[in-house]
Amino acid sequence: MKIFRKLLRYWIGIASVLSFLGGWVILAHSPKPVSLQSAASSIQPAALPGLPPIQAYGATTSNGPTFFSTTAPSNPPASNIQPIQPVQPSQGMPLLRTRGS
Amino acid sequence: METLHLRAMNTDILLAAEGQADRLQAGFEQASGFIQSGERRFTRFSEDSELSALNRSAGKRFKTSPELFSVVALTRRFFHLTRGLFDPSILPDLKRVGYDRSMDMLRKLGPSPLLESLLANEHPSFSEMDLDESDQTILLPPGMALDLGGIAKGWIAEQAANILSGYAAACAVDAGGDMFLVGLPDGMEKWPVALEDPLQPENTLTTLMVNPGAIATSTITKRVWQQAGKNRHHIIDPRTGEPAVSDWISVTVIAPHAYEAEVFAKALLIAGPREAEEIVRHSGIPFTYLAVDQEKKIWGNQARLDYSYVNTEANYSS
């Protein structure tokens, strides 16, 4: 009976150690969670093949988004974007500003 | 143009209207009263709100007000139109990543760290929700809870603007950058709306000239917080249950209705450039979008675009 108990103890001990090591190996090889490093800085803008900048207003696209410049070219070619003059709101016009909230 | 500023729905609200002063005063009172009652109904941050009561009723059929039923019915429609990218049932995920209290409180007290240990996407699909129009009841399956934050804000802004328009020749309701415009100010052919730089909010990227209707912006740079050393934001990608990772940092949508603008701004922000046009086509709704990337380049569906741009801050009075 004593021998059986001893054997059982050894068996449980060895099985525990092996299970622990097995779990360790499995976890070490499992995919790691991706951390969101920064709401803004973690975004890595991917290259967007097939979406060339549109050079002139009036052009249309049916495949994918179109790129717009927010600054006027310093020496715009005649056929390129013609900056539109800022529209001056009427007196007392409140500042309407769209932004994420 | 007369204006009224108030704080509601955890954001700054601006009411602006043109018309006779005495009538505008009554209009402001009616519209602001509607906004405040709408907030009490739709907020998830108060246990007394009707939305909280609906969320607590999960597993049992809940009799709603017509207002709550209307907004929840809209969410179901937009869930399908955005192919599931707009999903109000991500509330458990939103709480898990730390947005378990109002943004004001979150910034002051920080998020609850324990919620991070829960698994993502452990809630029923939104398509399992059942609405019965005949008796205005909603059945949320057990484990489902809704966040109506953005869509309710758009819906409230539009309803408030329509109320105010009964007292004004032209008016605007701006709810934290999501706005609904009725009529045109005297002498104007369009409404000028500044598009804020999402990375430098003190700057303006461009000025949009928009027709009466709605405009809304969704961004991952505003409602941000830290949880266990990670930076988090409030735009959850329903496909992962995690804050969305997108090539774009903000999306602005110009649409006929404020709730449409709000929903599609969020959906396109999650979708990013590879899926955006497909979402637009699938929606069948005539809206314009402008997306800003990390380099502050603006992308959009130019075919619908109708705006002028400026390079410097316009000198508006405020």
Is B1's CB within 8 Å of A94's CB?
yes
Instruction: Out of B178, B233, B252, name the one closest to residue A101 (CB).
Output: B178
- Residue A101 is predicted with a pLDDT of 72
Instruction: Out of A45, A64, A98, name the one closest to residue B177 (CB).
Output: A98
Q: In chain B, count of helices (H) and strands (E)?
A: 8, 17
Q: Does A75 touch chain B (CB under 8 A)?
A: no
Read off the pLDDT band of B158 (50, 70, 90): very high
Helix, coil or strand: residue B301: coil
Angle value at C-alpha B214, between B208 and B216, nearest 5 degrees: 70
Q: Where are the alpha helices (DSSP H) in chain B?
A: 21-42, 50-56, 66-81, 91-96, 103-109, 149-165, 258-271, 276-283
| Spatial distance between the Cα atoms of B35 and B200, rounded to a whole number of angstroms | 29
CA–CA distances in Å: residue B80 to residues A64, B83, B87: 21, 5, 9
CB B223 within 8 A of CB B234: yes
CB B270 within 8 A of CB B83: no
CB B189 within 8 A of CB B29: no
- Residue A39 is predicted with a pLDDT of 42
The minimum CA-CA distance between A25 and chain B, rounded to whole Å, is 22
- Residue A79 is predicted with a pLDDT of 32
CB B60 within 8 A of CB B137: no
- Residue B59 is predicted with a pLDDT of 92
| Angle formed by the axes of helices B276-283 and B258-271, nearest 10° | 150
Token pair of A86 as six digits: 């800022």
Tell me which chain A residue has its CA closest to the CA of residue B149.
A101
For chain B, percent of residues with pLDDT exceeding 70? 91
Q: Does B141 touch chain A (CB under 8 A)?
A: no
pLDDT tens digits, one per residue of B63-87: 999 999 999 999 999 999 999 999 9
Task: Please enumerate in sequence order all residues whose Cβ is within 8 A of that of A74, keeping only pairs 6 or more positions apart, or say none.
Answer: none
Query: What pLDDT tens digit does each residue of chain A (101 aa) get?
Result: 788 888 999 999 999 999 999 999 988 887 665 444 444 444 444 545 444 444 333 333 445 666 665 543 333 333 333 333 344 444 467 778 888 77
pLDDT tens digits, one per residue of B86-143: 999 988 887 877 777 777 777 777 776 655 556 555 778 899 999 999 999 999 999 8
Is A98's CB within 8 Å of B178's CB?
yes
Q: What are B11's strand-pairing partners?
A: B8
**Phi and psi for A28 in degrees, rounded to 5?**
-65, -30
Task: Please enumerate in sequence order all residues whose Cβ is within 8 A of that of A1, keeping only pairs 6 or more positions apart, or say none.
Answer: none
Q: What are the DSSP calls for B23-44, one per residue?
A: HHHHHHHHHHHHHHHHHHHH-S
Q: Among residues B150, B116, B314, B236, which one has the least CA distance to residue A94?
A: B314
Most B-contacting residue of A48, A85, A101 (CB-CB within 10 A), to test interface: A101
What structural domains and CATH numbers belong to chain B? 2-50+68-85+148-304 (3.10.520.10)
If phi over 0 gives left and psi between -120 and 50 gives alpha, with beta otherwise, what is residue B54?
alpha
Instruction: Out of B1, B14, B209, name the one closest to residue A93 (CB).
Output: B1
If phi over 0 gives left and psi between -120 and 50 gives alpha, with beta otherwise, what is residue B296?
left
Q: Does B226 touch chain A (CB under 8 A)?
A: no
Token pair of B222 as six digits: 């505003």
- Residue A68 is predicted with a pLDDT of 61
Q: Does B39 touch chain A (CB under 8 A)?
A: no
| Spatial distance between the Cα atoms of B169 and B24, rounded to a whole number of angstroms | 10
pLDDT tens digits, one per residue of B198-236: 888 888 888 888 899 999 999 988 877 777 777 777 888
Higher pLDDT residue, B44 or B216?
A: B216
Tell me which chain A residue has its CA closest to the CA of residue B220.
A39
- Residue B214 is predicted with a pLDDT of 95
- Residue A14 is predicted with a pLDDT of 94
Tell me which chain B residue has its CA closest to the CA of residue A71.
B311
Per CB-CB distance under 8 Å, the chain A contacts of B273 are 48, 51, 64-65
Is A70's CB within 8 Å of B252's CB?
no
- This complex has an ipTM of 0.74
Tell me which chain A residue has its CA closest to the CA of residue B4.
A94
- Residue A50 is predicted with a pLDDT of 46
Instruction: Out of A66, A90, A100, name the one closest to residue B302 (CB).
Output: A66
The minimum CA-CA distance between A36 and chain B, rounded to whole Å, is 6
For chain B, percent of residues with pLDDT exceeding 90? 52
| Spatial distance between the Cα atoms of B256 and A72, rounded to a whole number of angstroms | 30
Token pair of B60 as six digits: 């049992």
Tell me which chain B residue has its CA closest to the CA of residue A65.
B300
pLDDT tens digits, one per residue of B231-261: 777 888 888 888 888 889 999 999 999 999 9
Domain borders along chain A are 1-27
Q: Where are the alpha helices (DSSP H) in chain A?
A: 2-29
